[in-house]
Structure 1
């Protein structure tokens, strides 16, 4: 038996998922950090279900709630993923079309693979055979659980992977230490941009810095490590604020960095204002996209437009950004330079580096030509002054 389509029902209550198993109706909390709605139709499945059968159901909008061995569920997910990848082989598109198609493929993959579900007990554990102890990981990601729930296996594996990063941390040579990212907070694994912040010349007598969109707090930590004694880090994500707070405390910078739940800029002015916005001006398709994709370049535009009025005389804004958007045909260098000029800013200097991540050398990736040529830059920006030496933003 490969599928039990008679064990299905329709979810009617928002935030819950329902199914029928051997004549008994079940209803539990639906959990999705990605914001996916609860599947309307659910069947139970075990080792008798094949990847082809699971994908056929997923294509029809039917989810599979796993009742068998946990490791078998992981194997099934891998097999499903291989089939989805094989069905999305690269075509001979130009680079922009290839990028847009890759985003559609990512959404389709997430949608289909997200239809393999597992139960989570009220204590945050998995009530399946050979399941690992995930209670700490689920607690750190979701907080204290008080009721049983159902989650996609793919999302749960993301929780477990995030817990490994949180435990192990990411080595940051510029800090002589490690940054420990939390679930839902972008991990600073691309060290080339951190090295730019660690080596850019700091304005003379700089005393105050802003870190806009702090995330893990890594840029604040680097600035503090370089000797700036008063840093204000901002973010609006609760997980990021908790993550940055713990990292900065662990590194001994809690008395140097003040973290504020603020949209972009805090009040006042600073000698250095650093920002590493999402690099690609495109619509996020899945939850993990938000640290990389900035719809219509909104954060970049808002950072540039507000920068001059928050700089001290002689202060610098440090914009850390890749040119991958230009290489994908989503933004031109002229667009970026126009935005800088229109914001009343001038380019003092630019520091460039090449990425070293695995995708830059993966020739099988449909975006390889863009990634192989990618350059990451730290743009040192200052406020433009008129002929009388008055800052135009004032």
Structure 2
């Protein structure tokens, strides 16, 4: 990229190669700050030497065979996973770790692991072509995830592989038992791969209504379920333009376009409804990546915003449905009585509650560091109404 580019310096990655200075676009909105130190590397670099470099804060711009880069990434992951976190000396009688300790330790380990692995970089040209031996064609996947970049750019190999995998899943789609077709989710939109909460919405007694609100629609899966159940009009909201585009595409593909309207909004649209549905992020912690905003809800902002805004938008005899896991309580991130107190404080009452158990693989994985909490988790659909 020419030195006179108008791209801000904070969005450029810089390195020296062949006795010349080079720059390329760094997608800071998805990958965080540009690497401070980049050196080129190829097939002559051993995994041990690569591990020492990334551990010292150096990023490696790969110039060798693409498939060898994938093998190197796997080798680095094995070395990282074998090496424990640096810890201070523990007392001889250290107290047993609490679920919250385990959660915080797990997130720290994952963050450190990601930071190290993301130091293996791949260069792509303005057309998202990789000029390496045995490199795949990734133009369509990059375009779907990143849009038109229109300049040479760098990506962590790990992120690129995630983009490729997400694109394959986007094309394949996710089968939903209660829908006539699959839900297709692009990179950057949360995937509804935990079907138990969708089944709750598909099976709960439906209030008599021709109008429903779907708050924070994401992929549009719950709006689709409501349309499939016969609700004649659904207004689906989300703040994320990518999510709205994804939801609109899914709704149209499933044939529900005439029933669902979309609004970019923070929580509620204008007006009132007899049925308002919301599946907020389940864990009150700080997200570290864009996709984690669908998992983590700092300070319970969306949860409390939904509860406290619900009375003003809910018909007098209507129901507000809240889909929520109790994993946060088992992890020590929320007090056990928090949700019931928040519901009462918002001027709401519990009409009924429908529970289910998780079916994802981690819930049965005894080797998972959070297994104790995951194995006790319950997902609930809370049917809420105005306090009498």
Q: Please tell me the TM-score bracket, short chain as reference.
A: over 0.9
Report the aligned-residue RMSD: 1.6
Aligned to 1:213: 216
String of CA shifts for 1:240-286, please: whole Å, max 9, x gaps: 01100100000011110001111100000111111111101111133
| 2:11–2:28 CA contact under 8 A, matched in 1 | no
Please, which of 71, 77, 80 is the counterpart of residue 73 of structure 2? Answer: 77
Residue 13 of structure 2 is aligned to residue 17 of structure 1: yes
Cα offsets for 1:293-312 (capped at 9, x unmatched): 11111111111110111101
Task: Pick the aligned partner of 1:178 from 141, 160, 182.
Answer: 182
Q: Number of paired residues? A: 373
Distance in 2 separating the partners of 1:178 and 1:264: 26
1:60 pairs, out of 23, 48, 56, with 56
Partner residue, 1:49:
45
CA deviations 1:228-250 (Å, max 9, x no partner) are: 01100001111101100100000
Matched, 1:189 2:193: yes
The CA distance in 1 between the partners of 2:340 and 2:104, in whole Å, is 24
Distance 1:306 1:175 in 2: 30
Q: Are residues 1:329 and 2:325 paired? A: no
Matching of residue 367 in structure 1 with residue 363 in structure 2: no
Deviation at 1:55, TM superposition (A): 2.7
Instruction: Note if 1:256 corresponds to 2:259.
Output: yes
What's the offset of the Cα at 1:376?
0.5
Alignment pair present for 1:202 and 2:198: no
Counterpart-to-counterpart distance in 1, 2:314 and 2:28: 40
Cα offset for 1:149?
A: 0.6
Per the alignment, residue 3 of structure 1 pairs with none
Which of 158, 172, 175 matches 1:168? Answer: 172
Q: Distance in 2 between matches of 1:354 and 1:143?
A: 38
Superimposed CA distance per residue, residues 125-177 of structure 1 (whole angstroms, 9 cap, x where no aligned partner): 21111111111111111112311111111111111111011100000011132
Matched, 1:117 2:117: no
* TM-score under structure 2 length normalisation: 0.93
Distance in structure 2 (CA, Å) of the matches to 1:359 and 1:330: 19
* Cα distance in 1 for residues equivalent to 2:31 and 2:140: 22
Q: TM-score, normalised by structure 1?
A: 0.92
Report if the CA contact (8 A) 1:64-1:117 is conserved.
Answer: yes
Deviation for aligned residue 1:35: 4.1
Residues 1:157 and 2:161 are matched in the alignment: yes
Contact 1:110–1:286 at 8 Å: present in 2 too? no
Tell me which residue corresponds to 1:36: 32
CA contact (8 A) 1:166 1:182 kept: yes
